[in-house]
């Protein structure tokens, strides 16, 4: 019998018998089989006549009207009428609930569509539908396999990049007596950059062979239409592209080029600060205050920030370390002895000419002659320090041993406890010293007794 509740539920082949509310205020729908096709054997197709037993299953379904609904299906297990059929018995099944299914088909399809089409993560989709991560991932894989084509369409600009996923796993090979990687944590993805296909594929392993194998598996016509390949600064991808796509033009990713340029600017700023000031940068230094603006594009900065950066750079001298009038440190720098040729070169001092980095730093304004520490066994001049700043290890560090303990990354020596050795007897002693008798432990009772004996005496 088909009633209004059955039509509202929308599960073909099942009939809603009644609806009740449990203790948790959740509707529970009792279902029964309303399709004669469910009595046919799934292997031979013969219609069963004898019932073996009754069983009750509780599959999970989508919410109805925003409320979670629990299903309770009481179905029959039938004997197969064919004697030679491998299925001796079978349970009833419909299209929405196959045999041994704990979820309805539409619930699995909704989970896969939420990840593929709804732009939701697997964790978020599992949380919204009340499922586990493996179930949603399997539904996503099934949905993607049905939607994606077997071969990607030709692309003009191909993008290759690696992604880290999971943890690596190894297995021991008894033949070679070595460990081999069975699951790699690095995967390589192929993306259509100017087309609408998005990600084309992803292979396991960040090796040149993995990239070359995927490219060579594509037809020759597909590879000939690739005009350019965008990669990061990785020689693995470069070798693979040169081997599989020799006609394609290699393009370095814009992000990695900008990142490399910013690292170069930061390295120059730090090196010049250490060379010119003899210490690391501080918050009061102009190059430290402008460190973020030096690595940003002027098109993405506000006008007042661009003006401030321009004024700071224009006020810097045109030459680092040039002699200024009344500079008492000029004569001291001229008196420095020449460094031998076999000594290891050290960073240039304030007197060296660095025209390339001139607009970056301000010269050191020393009011007293700079002092140079005497040369030690390494035969190298040390960095001149400012006498006005206290020579504390946290302010000015000349050598590595002056730096704090938390910045010293050299390995420490492991000290193990050694057994205590017995003292040999004295050669001039006739007899060994008598053993020391331990003093009796004084307690309240012993004190009372000692006091009583003294009183009695």
> Tens-of-pLDDT digits for all 457 residues of the chain?
578 888 888 898 899 999 999 888 999 999 999 888 899 998 898 999 999 999 999 999 999 888 889 999 999 999 999 988 988 899 999 999 998 899 999 999 999 999 988 989 999 999 999 999 999 999 999 998 888 888 888 999 999 999 888 888 888 888 888 888 888 889 999 999 988 888 888 898 889 999 999 999 999 999 999 999 999 888 899 999 999 999 999 999 888 888 889 999 999 989 988 888 888 888 888 888 888 888 888 888 888 888 888 888 787 765 544 444 444 444 444 444 444 444 344 444 444 443 443 343 343 333 344 344 443 443 333 444 455 545 544 444 555 555 555 544 555 555 566 666 566 665 555 555 666 666 666 665 555 555 554 444 4
**Domain for residue 168, yes or no?**
yes
Q: Which of 229, 224, 219 is nearest to 150 (CA)?
A: 219
Clarify whether residues 239 and 306 are in a common domain.
Answer: no
**Domain for residue 368, yes or no?**
no
**Domain for residue 448, yes or no?**
no
> What number of other Cβ atoms are within 10 A of residue 294's Cβ?
16
Distance CA 197, CA 221 (A): 18
81 contacts 39 by C-beta, under 8 angstroms: no
Clarify whether residues 221 and 274 are in a common domain.
Answer: no
Clarify whether residues 115 and 98 are in a common domain.
Answer: no
Clarify whether residues 198 and 248 are in a common domain.
Answer: yes
Q: What is the pLDDT of residue 79?
A: 93
**Domain for residue 383, yes or no?**
no
> Which residues, in sequence order, are CB contacts of 440 under 8 Å at separation 6+?
446
Is the four-CA dihedral 62, 64, 69, 71 of positive or negative sign?
negative
**Domain for residue 380, yes or no?**
no
Helix (H, G, I), strand (E, B) or coil at 122: helix
Is the four-CA dihedral 267, 272, 277, 278 of positive or negative sign?
positive
Q: Which two tokens stand for residue 146?
A: 């049905």
Task: For residue 235, give the H/E element and its range.
Answer: helix 235-244
Clarify whether residues 197 and 123 are in a common domain.
Answer: no
Distance CA 245, CA 224 (A): 8
Clarify whether residues 242 and 162 are in a common domain.
Answer: yes
> Which residues, in sequence order, are CB contacts of 280 under 8 Å at separation 6+?
270, 273, 274
Among candidate residues 190, 219, 252, the one where a domain is terminated: 252
236 contacts 207 by C-beta, under 8 angstroms: yes
Q: What is the pLDDT of residue 374?
A: 42
**Domain for residue 402, yes or no?**
no
**Domain for residue 370, yes or no?**
no
Task: For residue 141, give the H/E element and its range.
Answer: helix 133-147
Radius of gyration of the chain (CA): 41
DSSP codes joined into one string, 42-87: TTT-PBP--EEEEEEE--B---BTTB--EEEEEEEEEE-S-TT-S-
Q: What is the pLDDT of residue 443?
A: 63
> What number of other Cβ atoms are within 10 A of residue 14's Cβ?
25
Burial of 290 (0-12, 13-18, 19+ CB in 10 A): middle
**Domain for residue 248, yes or no?**
yes
Clarify whether residues 96 and 10 are in a common domain.
Answer: yes
Q: Which two tokens stand for residue 373?
A: 């520490």
Clarify whether residues 233 and 313 are in a common domain.
Answer: no
Range of the domain at 231: 157-252
Clarify whether residues 281 and 301 are in a common domain.
Answer: yes
Among candidate residues 198, 221, 252, the one where a domain is terminated: 252
Among candidate residues 94, 128, 147, the one where a domain is terminated: 147
Clarify whether residues 269 and 309 are in a common domain.
Answer: yes
> Which residues, in sequence order, are CB contacts of 385 under 8 Å at separation 6+?
278, 370, 371, 391, 396, 398
Clarify whether residues 162 and 238 are in a common domain.
Answer: yes
Domain count, the chain: 4
> What number of other Cβ atoms are within 10 A of residue 286's Cβ?
15
Clarify whether residues 142 and 215 are in a common domain.
Answer: no
Distance CA 250, CA 232 (A): 10
Q: What is the pLDDT of residue 422?
A: 62
Distance CA 75, CA 38 (A): 10
Distance CA 30, CA 56 (A): 10
66 contacts 78 by C-beta, under 8 angstroms: no
Q: Which two tokens stand for residue 86?
A: 């491998």
């Amino acid at each position: 019998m088909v009633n209004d509740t059955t039509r509202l539920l929308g599960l073909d082949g099942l009939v809603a018998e009644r609806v009740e509310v449990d203790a948790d205020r959740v509707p529970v729908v009792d279902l029964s089989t309303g399709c004669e096709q469910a009595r046919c054997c799934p292997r031979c197709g013969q219609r069963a006549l004898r019932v073996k037993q009754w069983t009750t299953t509780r599959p999970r379904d989508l919410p109805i009207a925003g409320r979670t609904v629990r299903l309770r299906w009481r179905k029959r297990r039938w004997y197969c009428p064919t004697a030679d059929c491998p299925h001796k018995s079978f349970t009833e099944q419909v299209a929405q609930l196959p045999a041994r299914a704990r979820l309805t088909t539409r619930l699995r399809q909704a989970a896969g569509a939420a990840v593929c089409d709804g732009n939701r993560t697997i964790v978020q989709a599992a949380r919204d539908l009340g499922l586990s991560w493996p179930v949603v991932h399997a539904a996503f894989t099934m949905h993607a396999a049905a939607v994606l084509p077997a071969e990607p369409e030709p692309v003009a600009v191909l993008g290759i990049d690696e992604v880290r996923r999971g943890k690596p796993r190894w297995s021991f090979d008894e033949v070679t007596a070595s460990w081999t990687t069975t699951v790699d944590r690095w995967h390589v993805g192929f993306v259509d950059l100017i087309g609408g296909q998005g990600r084309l594929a992803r292979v396991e392993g960040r090796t040149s062979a993995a990239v070359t194998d995927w490219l060579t598996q594509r037809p020759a016509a597909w590879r000939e239409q690739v005009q350019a390949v965008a990669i990061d600064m990785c020689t693995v991808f470069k070798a693979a592209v040169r081997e599989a796509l020799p006609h394609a033009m290699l393009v370095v990713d814009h992000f990695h080029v900008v990142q490399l340029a910013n690292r170069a600017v930061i390295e120059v700023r730090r090196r010049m600060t250490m060379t010119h000031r003899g210490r690391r940068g501080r918050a009061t230094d102009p190059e430290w205050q402008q460190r973020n603006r030096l690595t940003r594009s002027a098109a993405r900065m506000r006008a007042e920030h661009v003006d401030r950066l321009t004024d700071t750079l224009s006020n810097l001298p045109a030459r680092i370390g040039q002699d200024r009038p009344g500079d008492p440190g000029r004569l001291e720098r001229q008196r420095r002895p020449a460094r031998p040729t076999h000594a290891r070169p050290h960073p240039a001092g304030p007197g060296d000419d660095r025209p390339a980095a001139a607009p970056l730093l301000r010269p050191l304004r020393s009011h007293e002659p700079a002092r140079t520490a005497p040369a030690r066994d390494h035969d190298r001049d040390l960095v001149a320090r400012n006498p006005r700043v206290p020579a504390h290890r946290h302010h000015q560090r000349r050598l590595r041993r002056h730096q704090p303990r938390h910045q010293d990354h050299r390995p420490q020596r492991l000290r193990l406890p050694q057994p205590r050795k017995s003292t040999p007897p004295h050669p001039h002693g006739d007899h060994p010293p008598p053993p020391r008798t331990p003093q009796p432990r004084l307690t309240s009772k012993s004190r009372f007794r000692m006091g009583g004996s003294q009183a009695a005496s």
